[in-house]
Structure 1
Amino acid sequence: MAFKTFLRTAFTVAALGAALAAPARAEVSEVRISKGFGILYLPLFVMQDQQFLEKRAKAAGLGDIKVTWLMLDGGNVINDAMMAGTLDFAGTGAPGFVTLWAKAKGIPGVEVVGVSGMSSTSLWMMSNKPELKSLKDFSATDKIALPGIKTSLAAVVLQMIAAKEFGDANYAKMDPMTVSLPHPEALAALVGGKTEIKAHFTSPPFQYIEAKSAGIHRVLNSVDYLGNLTLDVTFAPKKFVDANPKMTQAFIDAMDDANALIAKDKKLAAEIFAKGSKVKIDAAEVQEMIEDKDARFTATPEGVMKFAEFMHKAGSIKVKPAKWSDMFVPQLAGRSGS
């Protein structure tokens, strides 16, 4: 009996020793990242062009990694792709991220977490109908194009503006007029003027292109109502960042690198965007947008709690974070976000 006990003990110790001696599971060598069409995604355009993530990953000891880039627009589409497991990091509107964070909170294997802030700028409501000079002028037949109804960045910002314009109880007053269209298609519909689309709630560069088009005017500017907020963030599945802490840090560092380049060399940043954009646009025009007083690019989230508080009050999310950092990776906790 004593001998059998000894064997069992020896086997357990040996197995434990082997487990301790075994190398830790390697982090991924390939990551999939999505970005959207507008200037709000500029840091990701720069990160891709300059291969900042590849460089940071190599410096972190992760070797030569492969980065696959996807172009996705609209919170619903991005959220579906993330839930399906086809994305590792995604750039998206802050409201779309908050929606998914709240929905998946506490569900093992499904939870998501913010990885960084990214950008803020003004969103403009553009129209091809002269009579539309404010939200109060819209009728049920005046359709407003935006990337995704109810949960996209533009949709939630429009709700927040409607709450200020018509009162908190009427935050969804404009929802029945919204139509889901990617920004490039919405631009074509608005400028063409032959569809039901009478307005487009959009971001740079599309609003600038529309402003220079005949018969198009600006109805409102989001900053006039809400001030400057981080409008786009990046996020990832929590299980991914937990299993890949070095890759996650490399991504944050690469985001900081991209934002540093934008701050230092706006001309180069503009050229990178113009080259990679799906819309034909001159780099000088892009530079003008980057230099706009309302345009900011930083990995530190600013004002994201305003989205969470509004969406919880509106009932579109059931779980409200106690503080902004509850929604983001611990690596950002030391930053002065909000």
Structure 2
Amino acid sequence: MAFKNFIRAAMAAAAISTALGAPARAEVSEVRISKGFGILYLPLIVMQDQKFLEKRAKAAGLGDVKVTWLMLDGGNVINDAMMAGTLDFAGTGAPGFVTLWAKAKGIPGVEVVGVSGMSSTSLWLMANKPELKSLKDFTSSDKIALPGIKTSLAAVVLQMIAAREFGDANYAKIDPMTVSLPHPEALAALTSGKTEIKAHFTSPPFQYIEAKSPGVHRVLNSVDYLGNLMLDVTFAPKKFTDTNPKMTQAFIDAMDDANTLIASDKKLAAEIYAKTSAVKVDPADVQGMIEDKDARFTTTPEGVMKFAEFMHKAGSIKVKPATWSEMFVPQLAGRPGS
């Protein structure tokens, strides 16, 4: 309902703008970007710390650009903020982006577009109940915490795993057991053992912290089921990237800068993450997470079509892209995405 209301409002605003003949204007001088919790957002965290976007924007002739950062977690929350017009760029789980791209495609003033790839790693399902050794052991009373039900990154990855475990027709079998909680709160609930939360499907550093907690064990690793997929991407309103091509390119360049730093100086990247983390982490531990064989940080979207294909087959999106590049800005067209 909220999405339909936004579409009506956005279309009305677009009609008014057209009627008034809104004049062309210079590119924006302020950019609003959202990031979330966890190592998957490391490129954005490094970009913010090193002011890479400010530097790239200035080099592109855009002057002194103000960059405002927001902390948002969960596909639903991020999508709502984007639809409300309070974000210019957002880091999010690939499924959340694909959902919004498919819903908004073809609607002027509402469409969104991918701007870059971001990261991939393993997601672990952690549990504090000894009897939970596989998905088949979960019952309706065993609640699984994740950032957002049904459309968040963790929710869709869990659906894909359930499809492998129980058959394609039963991809949503675990959905009724999931509850929405930001990762830091879910970590506290799981390790306390005093709530209805019996499991947490999460990303680094939270899974590593939980693995060290008494009474908590790992049930599964997403990579064992699905291989290494690009889990997080960045996206923006299409009308923003169309009217701000230099800023869009500056953002892509800043992402490349951040990923270059992560690849060349993992120690510094770990220190940057640790000082801004919502939970206390040792930089040395963070460096180990970055060096994990399943961790990858790249601006090129890789494996996003696997999400689109699964979600279309499951019926959660009605529009299936023909190729990965259909979902992303043309500046990425020459990259070897998938």
Tell me which interval the TM-score lies in, with the shorter structure as reference length. Answer: over 0.9
- For 1:301, the aligned partner's letter is P
Distance 1:87 1:25 in 2: 19
* CA–CA separation in structure 2 for the residues paired with 1:235 and 1:68: 16
Aligned residue for 2:306?
306
Cα distance per residue 1:276-299 (max 9 Å; x no partner): 111111111100100000000000
Partner of 1:6: none
Partners of 1:83 and 1:136 in 2: CA distance: 37
Tell me the equivalent position of 2:252: 252
Question: How much has 1:24 moved relative to structure 2?
Answer: 6.1
Alpha-carbon distance in 2 for matches of 1:104, 1:285: 40
Looking at structure 1, the residues matched to 285 and 71 of structure 2 have their Cα atoms a distance apart, in angstroms, of: 22
Query: 2: distance between equivalents of 1:278 and 1:32?
Result: 20
Tell me what 1:126 maps to.
126
User: What is the letter of the counterpart of residue 255 of structure 2?
Assistant: M
DSSP-derived class of the 1:301 partner: coil
Match for residue 58 of structure 2?
58
Partners in 1 of 2:132 and 2:310 — Cα distance?
Answer: 26
Cα distance in 2 for partners of 1:122, 1:112 equals 27
User: How many aligned positions are there?
Assistant: 316
Give 1:122 deviation, angstroms.
Answer: 0.1
How far off is 1:32 after superposition? 0.2
Instruction: Find the counterpart in structure 2 of residue 326 from structure 1.
Output: 326
Match of 2:162 in 1: 162
Q: TM-score, normalised by structure 2?
A: 0.93
AA paired with 2:62?
A: L
- How far apart are the structure 2 equivalents of 1:74 and 1:260? 27
- Corresponding position of 1:203: 203
State the Cα distance separating 1:186 from its structure 2 match. Answer: 0.2
- SS class of match (1:259): helix
Letter of the structure 1 residue corresponding to residue 293 of structure 2: K
* Deviation sequence 1:214-271 (CA, Å, 0-9, x none): 0000000000000011000000000000000000000000000000000000000000
- Whichever of the two has the greater Rg, that structure is 1
1:9-54: CA deviations, max 9, x gaps? Answer: xxxxxxxxxxxxxx96210000000000100000000000000000
Which letter maps to 1:296? Answer: R
Measured in 2, the distance between the counterparts of 1:73 and 1:47 equals 18
Report the counterpart of residue 235 of structure 1 in structure 2.
235
Deviation of 1:103 after TM superposition, in Å, equals 0.4
For residues 318 and 73 of structure 1, the distance between their equivalents in structure 2, rounded to whole angstroms, comes to 25
Is the partner of 2:125 in helix, strand or coil?
A: strand
| Within-5 A mapping of 1:17-36 | 25-36=25-36
Q: List runs of 5+ in structure 1 lacking aligned partners.
A: 1-22
Q: Does 1:93 align with 2:103?
A: no
Cα distance in 1, alignment partners of residues 276 and 70 from structure 2: 12
Name the counterpart of 2:103: 103
d(CA) in 1 for partners of 2:70, 2:158: 27
Aligned to 1:151: 151
Distance in 2 separating the partners of 1:79 and 1:129: 33
SS at match of 1:108: coil
CA displacement 1:152-189 (0-9 Å, x = unmatched): 00000000000000000000000000000000000000
Instruction: Render the CA deviation track for 1:67-118: whole Å, top value 9, x for unaligned.
Output: 0000000000000000000000000000000000000000000000000000
Q: Deviations over 1:121-173 (max 9, x none)?
A: 00000000000000000001000000000000000000000000000000000
Trace 1:133-144 onto structure 2 (pairs within 5 A).
133-144=133-144
- Name the counterpart of 1:39: 39
CA distance in 2, matches of 1:176, 1:170: 12
Q: Percent identity?
A: 91
Give, in whole Å, the separation in 2 of the partners of 1:322 and 1:185.
38
Q: Which runs of no fewer than 5 residues in structure 2 stay unpaired?
A: 1-22
Counterpart residue identity of residue 312, structure 2: H
Q: Distance in 2 between matches of 1:279 and 1:250?
A: 31
Distance 2:24 2:162 in 1: 52
User: Offset at 1:329?
Assistant: 0.2
2:308 is the alignment partner of 1:285: no
Give SS of 2:86's match.
Answer: coil
Equivalent in the alignment of 2:68: 68
Tell me the equivalent position of 1:13. none
Distance 1:194 1:58 in 2: 51
